[in-house]
Amino acid sequence: MDSRVKQFMAKIEAKNPAEPEFHQAVMEVAETLIPYIEEHPRYKHAKILERIAEPERIIIFRVPWMNDKGEVEINRGFRIEMNSAIGPYKGGLRFHPTVNLGVLKFLAFEQVLKNSLTTLPMGGGKGGSDFDPKGKSDNEVMKFCQSFMTELNRHIGPNTDIPAGDIGVGGREIGFLFGQYKRIKNEFTGVLTGKGLEWGGSLIRPEATGYGAVYFAEEMLKTKGDSLKGKTCVVSGSGNVAQYTTEKINELGGKVVTLSDSAGFIYDPKGIDKEKLAYIMELKNIKRGRISEYAERYGVEYFNGERPWKIKAFAAFPSATQNEINEEEARLLISNGCKVVSEGANMPSSPEAIEVYLEHKILYGPGKAANAGGVAVSGLEMTQNSMRLPWSREEVDRRLQEIMKNIHSTCVKHGSEENGYVNYVKGANIGGFVKVADAMLAQGIV
């Protein structure tokens, strides 16, 4: 590792102890940005990198609620307001037992550069709780969301901080959160995105992250004169991002052969077609069941406690969670002929896995570029809320495709190497950084 990166990281680690995911996210960015900043001293003198690694504000709060048995439960709530140089804080809420300060800081840090890449005026933030919606009744989820928003409401607003969904926060949770915000503030505003269509939501928002990750893969493939048509793909996860990634791959003539959840994965060599995907959506979004039930229903193999990366495929779409592909799995993917990795999830590849992709010069779209479609359409939802005028499905999808194309061009502009290889990690980090850094320079030392 470059000694300048080492020095920088030593300070970050000392200041943010016991936050390995945050260190990992900052290091990945520092490795590409520090050499760039050396060439652009104005960023160095103003300590922009040091400043963007320090959240503007962190809010931590108690979330007490009563379960169906009449017992009091206590969770911890967080909101990280990371950077507001180019717009109000924007980023999702995650409800999952693994949520802690370090995980949310990594997500908020990534979000700042990602939001900048979309070209829309959005700063970066992230929040959530260690609450686990799995196994809870609708009533319990509502009680929790109401208590969570009773505190969060005083920190957010349509021009201040606009949360959205993430793992464990889908349409149901956004509904409960919005209802409580509206009740407390007595105003109907676009304070959250991912809302229902009847009450301020945008068409294509549920689809946006998954569709965007596939559009990004197609853009990368175009540079090689190739496409996903007729290709086998492995997808992990079976939530929002995985579902719409599968839908778009099917639409473009590809074949998805795996999906997973935290317990294991299913392998369906015939492909998860439209009808089978409808079954998954019902299973996951309504019945809230397990992916193993798919294997029983369709008579395919289920791999308990395993991840899908050992299955032979042309393209991989990690769409579950952070660090779900390690070095060995990255090597396995490549030795099985994988040419494209497009990250629907945030930081799903370990640093060692990323090194393997770059060493083999495959097309690798890091999350902050490849999954930016979700927040981009959240930005479009905010625009529609401000205009009080909804756009058609075609209009939003057209804008989403255009944004993904632009993000791809930005990555090519900043990430092209002399030998012609596009390092999308470098491209996304520098492309996202410049706009935020220039705004911070213009706004002085704040």
Residue with nearest beta carbon to ligand NDP: 239
Whether 126 is catalytic:
yes
C-alpha to C-alpha distance for 191 and 33, rounded to whole angstroms:
33
Among 88, 102, 190, 237, binds ligand NDP (CB under 6 A): 237
Closest approach of ligand NDP to the CB of residue 107, in Å: 6
Any contact of residue 240 with ligand NDP (CB under 6 A)?
A: yes
Binding mask 73-92 for ligand NDP (x = CB under 6 A): --------------------
SS3 99: coil
Q: Which residues of 61-89 are buried (b: 16+ CB within 10 A; e: fewer)?
A: bebebeeeeeeebebebbbbbbbbbbbbb
Any contact of residue 329 with ligand NDP (CB under 6 A)?
A: no
Number of residues counted as binding ligand NDP (CB under 6 A): 24
Query: Tokens standing for 48?
Result: 């922009």
Could you tell me which of 158, 202, 204, 211 has the C-alpha nearest to residue 181?
Answer: 158
Any contact of residue 342 with ligand NDP (CB under 6 A)?
A: no
Cα torsion through 319, 324, 325, 326, rounded to 10:
170
Catalytic hit among 126, 231, 368, 426: 126
Closest approach of ligand NDP to the CB of residue 307, in Å: 8
Any contact of residue 344 with ligand NDP (CB under 6 A)?
A: yes
Any contact of residue 374 with ligand NDP (CB under 6 A)?
A: yes
Strands 264-267 and 363-365: unpaired
Window contacting ligand NDP (CB under 6 A); options: 54-62, 147-155, 178-186, 233-241: 233-241
Strands 161-164 and 124-129: unpaired
Any contact of residue 429 with ligand NDP (CB under 6 A)?
A: no
Closest approach of ligand NDP to the CB of residue 209, in Å: 4
DSSP 139-170: HHHHHHHHHHHHHHGGG-BTTTEEEE-BTTB-
Sign of CA dihedral 384, 389, 393, 395: negative
Among 150, 180, 238, 342, binds ligand NDP (CB under 6 A): 238
Binding residues for ligand NDP, rule: CB under 6 A, are: 98, 165-168, 170, 209, 237-242, 261-263, 319-321, 344-346, 371, 374
Q: Just list the catalytic residues.
A: 126
